[in-house]
């Protein structure tokens, strides 16, 4: 019997070593596998190369991994954000290496790795500083830049539901880099709200087939859902009752 389900997040990230390249899904906070990242912090490997669209938000998740000095290099498209103070500080102090990649090239380089493509010519970035030193070619009148795949030892992915075979569905725009990272890493680890029975996921709706997934862990329902029904949040971090004491009181009472 195939069973990719791990007992908890610590079990799911076991074996990630110093010097590993780790892809982390998410666009800002959406789809960021916070429980897996917390487990990676707990596990403690250092000298990591991280692939993510951003470079952490606030003081949680990826930002906390950076603050814990476990990351040597980050490959991303958009490190500078209003709440990227952890990265900003490390970068200004020269304590983290940055490879800046246009977002579509980042996505396609990850996709190419999973699809077995050796390299590809893309028009994005031609004639800009981000293509300096790279091979170019004019094909049928258009200028292209040669870009190489980005592979990883591990991918940490924020899914929604999965089964023990590793089939995964996502939720809305939290899908973002998850499916392509799952294919691009030697070992792909997916956290989901819930692991469902085999057969419970509509085969027509499976987004990441289990062949790409090695480990699955259930971390519990996201706070803006209740028994699968959307109940909403008061901010983009998923808090409720942040500006309404009554909501907090009601939740406290129910607990």
Partner 1 sequence: MSLDRRALAARIAQDIPEGSYVNLGIGAPTLISDYLPEGAEIILHTENGMLGMGPQPKPGEIDPDLINAGKIPVTELPGAAYFHHADSFAMMRGGHLDFCVLGAFQVSQHGDLANWSTGEPGAIPAVGGAMDLAIGAKQVYVMTDLLTKKGESKLVAECGYPLTGVRCVTRVYTDRAVFDVTPEGFAVIETFDTTVDELSSLTGLTLVDRTSIPEEA
**Stretch binding partner 1 (CB under 8 A), from 2-10, 13-21, 59-67, 84-92:** 84-92
Strand (E) or helix (H) holding 113: helix 103-115
Q: H or E segment at 116?
A: none
Whether 101 contacts 124, CB under 8 Å? no
Query: Regarding beta strands 168-169 and 161-162, do their DSSP bridges make them parallel or antiparallel, or are they unpaired?
Result: antiparallel
State which H helix or E strand residue 171 sits in. Answer: none
Cβ proximity to partner 1, 38 vs 108, nearer residue = 108
Q: Does 121 bind partner 1 (CB under 8 A)?
A: no
Per CB under 8 A, 129 contacts partner 1: yes
Of 103, 54, 49, 100, which is closest to residue 79 (Cα–Cα)? Answer: 54
Cβ-contact 49, 72 below 8 angstroms: yes
**Other CB atoms within 10 Å distance of the CB of residue 213:** 25
| Binds partner 1 (CB under 8 A): choice among 13, 20, 24, 31 | 31
Identify which range of 44-52, 64-72, 121-129, 195-203 contacts partner 1 by CB under 8 A.
Answer: 121-129
174 binds partner 1, rule: CB under 8 A:
yes
Phi, psi angle pair for 126, to nearest 5°: -60, 135
Cβ distance to partner 1 smaller for residue 11 or 148:
148
Bridge partners, residue 44, by sequence:
none
Listed ranges 9-17, 73-81, 194-202, 212-220: which one lies at the site for partner 1 (CB under 8 A): 73-81
Whole-angstrom distance, CA of residue 54 vs CA of residue 84: 9
Cβ atoms of 62 and 24 within 8 Å: the answer is yes
Exactly one of 4, 6, 171, 215 binds partner 1 (CB under 8 A); which one? 171
- Nearer to partner 1 among residue 45 and residue 176 (C-beta): 176
Interface of this chain with partner 1, residues 32 to 51, rule: CB under 8 A: none
Q: Which is nearer to partner 1, 65 or 180 (CB)?
A: 180
Binding flag, residue 206, partner 1 (CB under 8 A): no
Q: Assess 177 for contact with partner 1 (CB under 8 A).
A: yes
Which CB atom, from 1 or from 82, has the smaller least distance to partner 1?
82
- Cβ neighbors of 90 (< 8 A, separation 6 or more) are 66, 96
Q: Going by C-beta distance under 8 Å and a sequence separation of 6 or more, which residues neighbour residue 254?
A: none
Binding residue for partner 1, selected from 170, 188, 192, 216, defined by CB under 8 A:
170
Task: Give the footprint of partner 1 on this chain (CB under 8 A).
Answer: 27-31, 53, 77-81, 87-88, 91-92, 98, 100-108, 110-111, 122-130, 143, 170-180, 207, 222, 224, 230, 232-238, 240, 244
């Amino acid at each position: 019997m195939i069973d990719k389900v791990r007992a908890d997040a610590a079990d799911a990230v076991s074996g990630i070593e110093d010097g590993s390249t780790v892809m982390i899904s998410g666009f800002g906070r959406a789809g960021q596998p916070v429980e897996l990242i917390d487990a990676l912090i707990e596990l403690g490997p250092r000298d990591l190369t991280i692939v993510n669209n951003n470079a952490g938000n606030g003081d949680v998740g990826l930002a906390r991994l950076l603050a814990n000095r476990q990351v040597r290099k980050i490959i991303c498209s958009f490190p500078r954000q209003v709440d990227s103070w952890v990265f900003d500080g490390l970068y200004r102090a020269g304590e983290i290496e940055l490879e800046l990649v246009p977002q579509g090239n980042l996505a396609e380089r990850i996709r190419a790795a999973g699809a077995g493509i050796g390299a590809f010519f893309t028009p994005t970035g031609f004639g800009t500083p981000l293509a300096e030193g790279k091979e170019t070619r004019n094909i049928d009148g258009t200028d292209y830049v040669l870009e190489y795949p980005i592979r990883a030892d591990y991918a940490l992915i924020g899914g929604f539901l999965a089964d023990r075979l590793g089939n995964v569905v996502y939720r809305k725009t939290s899908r973002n880099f998850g499916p392509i990272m799952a294919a691009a890493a030697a070992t792909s680890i997916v956290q989901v709200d819930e692991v469902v029975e085999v057969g419970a996921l509509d085969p027509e709706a499976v987004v990441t087939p289990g062949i790409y997934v090695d480990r699955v862990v259930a971390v519990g329902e996201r706070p803006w859902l209740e028994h699968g029904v959307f109940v909403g949040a008061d901010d983009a971090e998923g808090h409720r009752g942040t500006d309404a004491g009554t909501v907090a009181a009601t939740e406290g009472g129910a607990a």
